[in-house]
Amino acid sequence: MKRICFLMIASTALLLSSCSGVSSQKVTHATDEMIRKQVLFFTDDENLTSEIPYYDAILELKSKHPESLKHLKVVNARSSEDQPVLDKTPDSPAILVIEDNEVICEIEGSTNKNSIVKPVAQAISHWYD
């Protein structure tokens, strides 16, 4: 009886101690992660017609700055999964250019393609091209 209790306690302790290292690594990694260079596009599945200028702008930016737009990340505004930690989440549609954990360019709401392309291109022009 003592052996069974000892085995149960030892196996539980071993199991719990082996799991704690994995979860603390993920938390540390997530909180220490720094966004060096990234373009975020906030989209909403229910508002696709107002996003047409954004898609056109992204296509033009990809053709002019292909290396910089490799850092494009599409974020669904309605989903809590994979949301970046921001002080204020923009209304979609929106494009944010982030460099060294700071938003250096933000375009939000209904606008035309040129009003998106010009400031974003200026913000990312020194990255790689």
Q: Judge whether 48 lies within some domain.
A: yes
- Rounded to the nearest 10°, the torsion over CA 57, 62, 65, 71 is 100
The whole-number pLDDT of residue 59 equals 94
pTM: 0.67
The whole-number pLDDT of residue 21 equals 40
The whole-number pLDDT of residue 61 equals 93
The whole-number pLDDT of residue 30 equals 43
With CA atoms as reference, report the closest residue to 102 among 57, 31, 30, 38.
38
The predicted-structure confidence for 90-120, as pLDDT tens digits, reads as follows 777 999 998 888 889 999 998 999 999 999 9
Residue 13, pLDDT > 60, answer no
What CATH number has the domain bearing residue 108?
Answer: 3.40.30.10
Question: Is there a single domain that holds both residue 62 and residue 41?
Answer: yes
The predicted-structure confidence for 20-65, as pLDDT tens digits, reads as follows 343 332 322 344 466 788 899 988 878 788 899 999 999 999 999 9
Q: Per the structure, how many domains does the chain have?
A: 2
